[in-house]
Amino acid sequence: MSSPTAAAPSVHDAGFAGFRGLELVRGEGPWVFDATGRRYLDATSMYGVALLGHSHPALTEALAHQAATLMSCFSSYANDRRNALLNRLAELLEPLDRFFLCNSGTEAVEAALKLARLATGRPGVVSFSRGFHGRTFGSASATVRGTQRDQLAPLLEGFRQVRPGDHAALAAELRRGDVGLVLTEVVQGEGGVYPLDGDDLRAVQQAAREAGALFAVDEVQTGVGRTGRWFGYRHHDLDPDFVTLAKGLGGGVPIGAVAFRSSLGRWPAGTHGSTFGGNPLACAAALATLDVVTREGLVEVAARRGERLRQRLRAGCGDRVREVRGVGLMLGLDLEGASATTQRRLQDRGFLVLGAGPRTLRLLPPLITPEAELDRLADAIIDVVTEPVDEAHTAPAATHPGTAEQQA
């Protein structure tokens, strides 16, 4: 009989390149449990989605109530939960006052790309290397480079990338006169957890405005308190024309949103829409999530506990970790060896973590994770990275686990 923690993958799992050899069946707070009953600290938040951890009482109560009331209502009809969420988002994202609700981050980015083209009449988009904006063809055109781009070619025309901080290259692209949107992250999560410099970001915003282009911030991974501010761009006093949200916004229920200025105009009839976007169930989940983040002060908690975790890791890992990057509860450790090896060893110890490239370990714990559990996580990471290991005899956590979020 095979080991229960390394059970043969199902047909679905066998086709997924990032399969980790676990079958998770239950979650409670910051922990998840596999089919054998073993508990793991979830420092992934399932790619940042489980912002409140798993099975949070306020979220499950809101979902149960809404499921028994009304789950589906497309946007030709008004709905009380949708209206309440739109009002709440308008308060949080002022002066952005218009919203399109959808189901995922890549859909939110697609909506921003489309609206920018409609508003400016320009098809060009500039994004930044190491960035990640999704997998649909528009968002992928703003993301992928190299061999992956070649494999997907042809992608959409008019999409160009420059290096973060390369103002001369950005200026050259803007001088073409066809750029309608400049798209950036504040922390490049999939690209290795690289926080971008505030002065550089403000310069990008100014250059876009002077060139008549719109400025968008992708907050799909950084939004709703993850970085210790409600939104990552608030660290740098940015004033974007678009903000895209998803992942943690619904606390585990799929939802996405793009916020923009009403001065950009309305969608021409029939130009865009979403059957499931803004459905009452997802809106109820998002409202419950925002309420808990506010009531429990989780934005401040993320800032405080994230800084404590970062300092503990920097002090304890020594020269076995080249750098500890990030802000709030979004951290990346630049390792000497393969991230896959470290992920597997931590999983064996009961800690689930992510990668962000072949040598970067990424931490995205739920905002509700107790400080004592974050201390346990830090101790485990310090133990693993400072112990000698023969990587040739250590099974990988997955095929390229650091980029599983980017794989089909």
Helix axes 280-295, 57-67, angle to 10 degrees: 160
Task: Please give the model's pTM, rounded to 2 decimal places.
Answer: 0.89
Is it the case that residue 209 has pLDDT exceeding 80?
yes
8 A C-beta contact, residue 119 and residue 214:
yes
Is 390 exposed, middle or buried (CB count within 10 Å of its CB: 0-12, 13-18, 19+)? Answer: exposed
pLDDT of residue 19: 78
pLDDT of residue 337: 85
Stretch 205-233: mean pLDDT, rounded? 97
User: Tens digits of per-residue pLDDT, 254-304?
Assistant: 999 999 999 988 878 788 889 999 999 999 999 999 999 999 999 999 999
Nearest to 407, CA basis, from 1, 118, 15, 91: 15
Is it the case that residue 231 has pLDDT exceeding 60?
yes
Angle at 346 between CA 340 and CA 349, to 5 degrees: 145
pLDDT of residue 105: 96
- How many CB atoms are closer than 10 A to CB 400? 17
pLDDT of residue 7: 45
Least confident of 78-82, 140-144, 324-328: 140-144
User: Tens digits of per-residue pLDDT, 98-111?
Assistant: 999 999 999 999 99
**140-175 per-residue burial string, b: 16 or more CB within 10 A, e: under 16:** bbbbbeeeebeeeeebeebbbbbebeeeeebeebbe
Stretch 28-41: mean pLDDT, rounded? 97
Nearest to 248, CA basis, from 219, 218, 281: 219
Q: Which domains does the chain have, with CATH numbers?
A: 58-295 (3.40.640.10), 300-362+375-397 (3.90.1150.10)
- CA–CA distance, 255 with 253 (Å, rounded to integer): 6
Under the banding of pLDDT at 50, 70 and 90, the label for residue 389 is low
pLDDT of residue 407: 40
Give 120 or 392, the one with higher predicted confidence.
120
User: Tens digits of per-residue pLDDT, 188-208?
Assistant: 999 999 999 999 999 999 999
pLDDT of residue 21: 86
Please give, one letter per residue, the 3-state secondary structure of the chain. Answer: CCCHHHCCCCHHHHCCCCCCCCCEEEEEECEEEECCCCEEEECCHHHHCCCCCECCHHHHHHHHHHHCCCCCCCCCCCCHHHHHHHHHHHHHHCCCCEEEEECCHHHHHHHHHHHHHHHHCCCEEEEECCCCCCCCHHHHHCCCCHHHHHHHCCCCCCEEEECCCCHHHHHHHHCCCCEEEEEEECEECCCCCEECCHHHHHHHHHHHHHCCCEEEEECCCCCCCCCCCCCHHHHHCCCCCEEEECHHHHCCCCCEEEEECHHHCCCCCCCCCCCCCCCHHHHHHHHHHHHHHHHCCHHHHHHHHHHHHHHHHHHHHHHHEEEEEEECCEEEEEECCCHHHHHHHHHHCCEECEECCCCEEEECCCCCCCHHHHHHHHHHHHHHHHCCCCHHHCCCCCCCHHHHHHCC
